[in-house]
Chain A
Amino acid sequence: MAKDKSKKLKPAKTKQESLLHHVRKEWKLYTFLILPILYYVIFKYVPVIGNIIAFRRYKGGPNILGQDWVGFRYFEQFLKDTNFWNAFWNTLRLSIGYLLVRFPATLIFALLINEIRKTWWKKTVQTISYLPHFISLVVVCGMVKEVLSSTGPVNSLLSSFGMEKIAFMSEPGWFDFIYIASGIWQALGWGTILYLTAMTNINTELYEAAGIDGAGKFKQAIHVTIPGILPTIMTLLIMDIGNIITASNMQKILLLYNPMTQSKADIIDTLVYRMGIAGGNFSYAAAVGLFSAVIGLVLVTTANTLSKKFTETSLW
């Protein structure tokens, strides 16, 4: 027994102990896992397996794995469907457009916040700009509709300048703007947190040295702040690119779009919702969903590999 105790001190040696013996010894700790792992199996893995209905005919009912094999029939169907391609391009356009605006806007906003000298004002700006992140999406979209309604303040402002009122919510041409602007409203402040944290970690001596060398505040931002937070910028950028398909905000679009704007607003996930849950074409919708999930996985994996290579940070 004394020998056993000395072994405990060297964890490398415990590897030699058999797995069965290990589980027997630590079984009490393993019991913690039972319920949560059961949760993961049922609510996370059963749906993964449930994707099998993309290859099988499923018309509803408790036989959740479907009736019979149909191969890639549903995939062939949606690849020939113009609605799918419309949704596909809308997804790309909306996600990329949003990223192209949000990414630089967040970075610039963080740099500007960092230049605020009065602590109370800085805290106030931060607290207020983070707030929309915590508001229910339903309320956010309700606000969008209220503010942009025909009797709302934006249209009042337009007509007070003698301009014509705009039916924002029913004109497809305005959807991109509404989607991106409301996203910025919600995410701008919250998105600065990681940058601001990275900025506080920059050595102040670097700024002093740059100041002595004659660099003004603007040059200091370019030559000290930005290089200091470059790893954060790169990581966030790569992750955002990786998430471009999966992060498309279905819930927001479901709340904002309507039959009039659908041509510009329908994305893959909303198509899946409409076809599957509203329309009952479960197998077809599952095939579309699986397709986009696989693309999403490939993108995230690629992004992560790139991140590992260039910034030495990765998600796994």
Chain B
Amino acid sequence: MDIFTTLSTGSGYWNPLAWLGGFLVITVIVWLIWSRGEKSYKKGTAQTAPYLSGNAEPAKGDVHIRAGNLYWGYTEALKGYYSRIVPIHTGILNDYVMWYLGVTALLIIVVVIFA
């Protein structure tokens, strides 16, 4: 079996090994650029300390941006959607059963009508 076979998707093609080859070439170029960078950089010295306009560096735990603060804008922009979709997820078993039975009833109507 030829391991270099290209994946045919019906209307397109995908060869991961060719992609990987390209990726490696780009990685080498990036590495070459990086290796020509500043040599006097010293890890663990004042060079690597964050500069916060002269203020003291906060505790490590305070610097990390927690999950709750991420995508605030996304959820705010879609507030209308989330205000409807989240309350449906009640966590109540009776509701789960009602949804299941409701969908079953709806599907029976659809399938029988279009049969």
Q: Do the two chains bind?
A: no
